[in-house]
A and B are shown apart, each in its own frame.
Chain A
Amino acid sequence: MKLSREEVLRIARLARVGLTDEDVDRLREQLSDILENFEALKQVDTTDVPPTTQSIPLQNVTKDDEVAPSLSQEQTLANAPRKEGEYFRVRAVLE
């Protein structure tokens, strides 16, 4: 089963990735090809098998809430593409 153009565009929208028409055509082929390889998983019996999200036996790791050195405002803003005074500058969210 090949992904439709609409499906590729829907995923791109969810991922917020802009694509050219050429990208969409190429990704239709390549993603379909990869997804076809995933079909193999259907052969595995996973009845009563719990999922594993990570491989170590740690849970709910916490630490004391203590004041410690952290990045300065200047350091935090140093890589910002746009800034204004003490703030990151973003585009209007509501138009």
Chain B
Amino acid sequence: MITQLTIHEAHGLLKSKKLSSMELTKACLKRIKEVEPRLKALVSVTGELALKQAEKADQRIAAGDINPLTGIPVVLKDVLCTKGVRTTCSSRMLENFVPPYDATVVEKLNNCGAVTLGKANMDEFAMGSSTEHSAFFPTHNPWDLDRVPGGSSGGSAVAVASDEGIFALGSDTGGSIRQPAGFCSVVGLKPTYGRVSRYGLVAFASSLDQIGPLTKDVTDCALVMNAIAGFDDRDSTSVPEPTPDYTKCLSTDLKGLKLGVPKEYFVKGMQPEVESAMRAAIAKLEGLGAKVDWNVSLPSTPYALAAYYIIAPSEASANLARYDGVKYGFSYSDADSMWDAMEKTRQFGFGDEVKRRIMLGTYALSAGYYDAYYLKAQKVRTLIRREFDQAFAKYDALVTPTSPTVPFKIGEKTEDPVQMYLSDVCTLPINIAGVPALSIPAGFGDGLPIGMQLIGKPFGEETILKVAYAYEQATEWHKMRAEIK
């Protein structure tokens, strides 16, 4: 099945004219038609646009103008603005919103000649860990349709894992790329904060949000980073650092590399199959030549969850104030007054989780509570970042599980927000610190995927990509495909 190809495999065939972008695109659209009723990974399928883009890509290739993403079909998380294509954030609030501009990353992919297949389902406004908080429908995990794919980029992860598309983009505020990548057995990278432009990414928590790739292997991850990373003057938090060629660092020799395993990430409540898969994976890294210190401590880690669930909702409560029913989005029409219209617009436009977080953030920022919650959380943020800085003075990268559990059952945690929040316990400290991290397939427990998280120093994406590549070349996990029943 040609939709199983990776970017670099498809690129080879496109370049040698053994395959056309049109054939590949049509195969992906056929695959989507076939499996989408069971998976529900996509909010919109942009078939017509895809065929047009594929035709153009084939013309470019015929003229000898080809780069690694030319003609390659991609799925975009529906939080990324696409000019003229509905962008919903899986919310009633933006159900009919058609952006007048492209996000910078979308513009970059378009310039490369990538082919947009559709927009991926997600937790509403990227708030969630299971894609069950989509206002439209939940997405199903291809490895077990009764289980969640993780979230919030669940649709993006499923589209890649089920070969609906060749790669996808997601966004990650507390684990929203890495946790679904782990749950679906694909590679997902959250870059260093400021590495990829956030222009055109619908804002959730602006000091934590980053866009990143979800791919079938590490080489593809590096290729997508080459296309999307870099300074953008339309995002004032974009960092003017030079962008390396991320494929150059991929090697299988880890000799001399120092890895640390922070013990606080092996949390209480971690499933034994996750723990044993992690120990085996880390032993494998040792076997590849890395020097592993199994006893690193990042003592503030247990406080990251509370700090995150103060900082992120606080920023969200400010960011989502823009949805007032005036400039765009859902607007309640049958109201008595301006305030009534605004309150009802937000009552009916937002789902329960979004309202919960707006309320939480508003509370944490309100008079009399600011110091105890928001300011305290920001101080804890300093401690967490310092501990990472200290660890990176000694180690090249840190290794942890991506999640403490395998994918859970649909419906299992929707009524208990605290339990849902705990599924991000290993990923959210990374956003608080602003450092890069990726998840790579590292085994299965009872047929369900387990992800390994590699954490790097700021702008140290190359090191974690190298470790991930070496691990991938020595294992077969990334070649396994779900049988969609």
Contact = CB atoms under 8 A, between A and B. Distances in A.
Chain B binds chain A: yes
Interface of A: 8, 11-12, 14-19, 23, 27, 30-31, 33-35, 37-38, 40-44, 46, 49-56, 58, 61, 63, 71, 75-76, 78-82, 88, 90-93, 95
- If over half of B's interface residues share one DSSP class (helix, strand or loop), that class is named, otherwise mixed; here it is helix
Given A56-B239, A91-B335, A81 B326 contact: yes
25 contacts: A15-B317, A15-B358, A16-B339, A18-B346, A27-B356, A31-B359, A37-B305, A41-B306, A41-B377, A44-B379, A46-B376, A50-B382, A51-B375, A51-B381, A53-B378, A54-B237, A54-B434, A55-B385, A55-B432, A56-B193, A58-B236, A63-B233, A80-B326, A80-B327, A91-B338
B362 interface: yes
B366 interface: yes
Contacts of B321: 16
B300 interface: yes
A8 to B, nearest CB: 8
Contacts of B305: 37
User: Which of A18, A63, A82, A90: most chain B CB closer than 10 A?
Assistant: A18
B359 A27 contact: yes
A90 B194 CA distance: 36
B329 interface: yes
Interface in B193-250: 193-194, 207, 233, 236-237, 239
Q: Which 10 pairs across A and B sit closest by C-beta, in order of nearness?
A: A55-B434, A18-B347, A51-B378, A81-B331, A79-B328, A18-B343, A46-B379, A75-B100, A91-B338, A15-B362
A37 B383 CA distance: 19
**Size bracket of the B interface:** 35 or more
A49 B309 CA distance: 20
B71 to A, nearest CB: 29
Given A56-B434, A58-B239, A78-B98, A38 B383 contact: no
B16 interface: no
Nearest to B383: A49
Contacts of B97: 79
B342 interface: yes
A93 B342 CA distance: 12
B320 to A, nearest CB: 9
Given A58-B239, A71-B100, A95-B337, A14 B381 contact: no
Given A12-B359, A17-B343, A91 B337 contact: yes
User: Which of B300, B307, B380, B434: most chain A CB closer than 10 A?
Assistant: B380
B262 interface: no
B355 interface: yes
A23 to B, nearest CB: 7
A90 B362 contact: no
Contacts of B380: 41, 44, 46
A91 B375 CA distance: 36
B354 to A, nearest CB: 9
Contacts of A14: 362, 366
Interface string B347-358: 110100001101
B471 interface: no
A41 B302 CA distance: 9
A87 to B, nearest CB: 11
A19 B359 CA distance: 11
A76 to B, nearest CB: 7
A40 B214 CA distance: 34
Contacts of B347: 17-19
Contacts of B360: 31, 34
Contact of B309 (A8, A18, A34, A79): A34
Nearest to B83: A75
Given A14-B366, A34-B309, A23 B355 contact: yes
B263 interface: no
Contacts of A80: 326-328
Given A14-B366, A54-B193, A56-B237, A33 B359 contact: no
A81 B207 CA distance: 30
Given A51-B382, A58-B194, A58-B239, A16 B342 contact: yes
B378 to A, nearest CB: 3
Nearest to B323: A16
A17 B359 contact: yes
A48 to B, nearest CB: 9
B417 A34 contact: yes
B303 interface: yes
B363 interface: yes
Nearest to A13: B343
Contact of B356 (A30, A53, A91): A30
B341 interface: yes
B101 to A, nearest CB: 7
B386 to A, nearest CB: 9
Nearest to A46: B379
